[in-house]
Amino acid sequence: MDMTPEQTVQAFLTAFQLGDVETAMSVVGGSVQADVFPLGVRAGGFDDLRGLLGEIVAAFPDLRVTVLNVIPTGSVVTVELKVEGTQARDYLGVVNQEKHLDLDEAWRFTVAAGRITAVGVYWCQGQLYRRLAVKRVDQIAIV
């Protein structure tokens, strides 16, 4: 019997919280549509999503992902979460200054037959830059 959409998303989140990218991606469909709006990724795919999770896990070894709210609406499950950690290597082009990140995010998942088929990711890149001590959005590698 297939998992409910909420159970599928919970499995993804639990693995993400543990930093286990491959297990998280095991509930993601191979033809998933990934929109990571802060990074300008529209209609991205499986590798884009896996790459994002891998970047986060690698850049913040003390990663803490706290699920704040889960809103199931049929096949769509929306999750509010907080991502926290201390930067330990360059992240999305931002030079590592060992700053602490705490970022509120919202992820909107679409699930079918126990697999995530679409995900839209929302956070404010301005808040991320501010916490990682970036001064200008067009010079993120200059400190």
Partner 1 sequence: MTTTDMTSRSRIAAQVVSDFFGAYRRHDIEAMVEKCTDNADFSYVPFELWGKQRVLRGDGKVRTIGKVIWTGLINSFPNLFNEVHSVDANEHGDVVVTCDIGGTQQIAWALAAPQGKKFREPHLFLFHVDESGLIDKVKAYWNNAGINTQLGHLEVD
Q: Could you tell me the smallest distance in angstroms from the CB atom of residue 23 to partner 1?
A: 26
d(CA 73, CA 40): 26
Of positions 18, 113, 124, 143, contacts partner 1 by CB under 8 A: 124
φ, ψ dihedrals at 116, nearest 5°? -75, 120
* CB closer to partner 1 out of 30 and 40: 40
Round to whole Å and give the CA distance between 60 and 98. Answer: 9
Size of the site for partner 1 (CB under 8 A): 31
Task: Give the C-alpha distances (Å, rounded to integers) separating 26 from 22, 52, 62.
Answer: 6, 15, 23
DSSP string, 44-76: E-HHHHHHHHHHHHHH-TT-EEEEEEEEEETTE
Among 26, 71, 86, 98, binds partner 1 (CB under 8 A): 71
CB of 123 to partner 1, least distance (A): 7
Q: Name which of 61 and 126 has its Cβ closer to partner 1.
A: 126
The count of residues in the chain is 143
- Give the span between the Cα atoms of 88 and 82, in whole angstroms: 18
- State which residue, 6 or 20, has the beta carbon closest to partner 1: 6
Residues within window 94-123 making contact with partner 1, judged by CB under 8 A: 104-106, 108, 120, 122-123
Beta carbons of 47 and 54 less than 8 angstroms apart: no
Check residue 4 for interaction with partner 1 (CB under 8 A).
Answer: no
Residue span binding partner 1 (CB under 8 A) among the ranges 10-18, 25-33, 54-62, 64-72 = 64-72
Binding site for partner 1 (CB under 8 A): 35, 37-38, 40, 69, 71-76, 78, 80, 104-106, 108, 120, 122-127, 129-130, 134-138
